[in-house]
Structure 1
Amino acid sequence: MSQLLVMSDDELLEAFKSGDQQAYRQIYDRYWQLLYRHSCNMLRNNEEAKDVVQEVFTTLWMKKDEINPPVAAFLYTASRNRILNLLKHLKIEEKYAEERKAVLENPGMTLPDQQVIERDFERLIEAGIQSLPPKMRRIFELSRKEFKTHQEISEELNISSLTVKRQVSNALTILKNKLHIFFTFF
């Protein structure tokens, strides 16, 4: 072990690559504290810094045959990349949390995924309406899109109010059946 203490980083890496686990331990002992402090300074979180350093040394262990000297460059680069990825991920989480908070504080506001679902649902409804027989579709659109009463529709189309009511009811039944799959999925 005392021989390992005087070895250079490059010699330790070569010894580790040839199977000397004590060489790995020596690299770990030399760099763990430095990488940990560096990670703490960038992340401002001790536990996340420990995780980053542990991941870097796990990668060193797993990819030992692919690593070229100097080992310090690999360790610092791997740490920096993990930290930057973590910071990017934390920003995304923070943004999502802010959006969720805004939605909770403003019930009328929706998240992007909700907007996509709503648009898909609107398209499905519109496709269902377009598939109705023409006269039924016209009555349904006057009722639901133009907000006319059954009496107003019956006067406009010269049909009985009961026919309007029946056509709207039938249209709703047809649409419910067509949208049943969507409701089941969500």
Structure 2
Amino acid sequence: MQNFNLNSEKSFREMFSAYYVSLVNYACTFVSDTDDAEDIVQEVFVNVWERKDGFGDEFKSYLFRSVKNRCLNFLRDSAVKKKRLDEIQEETVEFDLNHDMIREEVYQKLLETLNTLPPQCKKIYQLSLSGMKAFEIAQELNLSVETIKAQKKRAKKLLVTRLGRISYILFVLSQNL
């Protein structure tokens, strides 16, 4: 074994050069990503630099043991993170599914309620929902703008009465998404 004076920066650099590649290769037997292996080895060397003493003749075995332990910790922590990310993804999928189901139920209820409106009122409100302005609807249906506004107001009132205020508000908000 080579003797290194860890209090000397030059000696530390020599020690780093002597072991770095073999430690990275060793770390790669545990972790699949070379960048992760290099990070782990660098952390071990930072720890050695900060300690600077107490290694004795077992310095080489200390380096390899430290790399192995850090690799195992890395794998454990990665597994915990992956498990939590999987749980979050499952929760998100479940939330999205519930959200979609609720939106579909509200939409079906709205369609049923729209179909109960008087025909002219229904036609005007549907055109309004498609983004047409009152004057455009008036031109298309050959009616006055005042008639269009009155019919839209009537449709809204009937929908709020039949759907309830919250369902109606949810519907209107969903149209703006």
TM-score (norm. length: structure 1): 0.49
For 2:30, the aligned partner's letter is: M
Following the alignment from structure 2 to structure 1, what is the Cα–Cα distance between the partners of residues 42 and 26? 13
- The answer to whether 1:62 aligns with 2:60 is no
* Cα deviation, residue 27, structure 1: 1.1
Following the alignment from structure 2 to structure 1, what is the Cα–Cα distance between the partners of residues 91 and 39? 32
Following the alignment from structure 2 to structure 1, what is the Cα–Cα distance between the partners of residues 40 and 54? 20
Q: Which residue does 1:149 correspond to in 2?
A: none
For the residue of structure 1 that corresponds to 2:56, the secondary structure is coil
For the residue of structure 2 that corresponds to 1:65, the secondary structure is coil
Instruction: State which of 50, 60, 85 in structure 1 corresponds to 2:38.
Output: 50
* Cα deviation, residue 108, structure 1: 9.1
For 1:81, the aligned partner's letter is: N
- The answer to whether 1:91 aligns with 2:79 is yes
Q: Which residue does 1:151 correspond to in 2?
A: none
Following the alignment from structure 1 to structure 2, what is the Cα–Cα distance between the partners of residues 92 and 40? 20
Residues 74-94 of structure 1 deviation map (CA, whole Å, 9 limit, x = unaligned)? 101110111111100000001
Coordinate RMSD, CA, aligned: 1.8
- Provide runs of 4+ in structure 1 moved above 4 Å: none
Unaligned stretches of 5+ in structure 2?
98-177
Following the alignment from structure 1 to structure 2, what is the Cα–Cα distance between the partners of residues 98 and 20? 47
- The answer to whether 1:73 aligns with 2:73 is no
- More relative contact order, 1 or 2 (CA 8 Å, 6+ apart): 2
TM-score (norm. length: structure 2): 0.51
| Matched residues, number | 97
* Cα deviation, residue 47, structure 1: 1.3
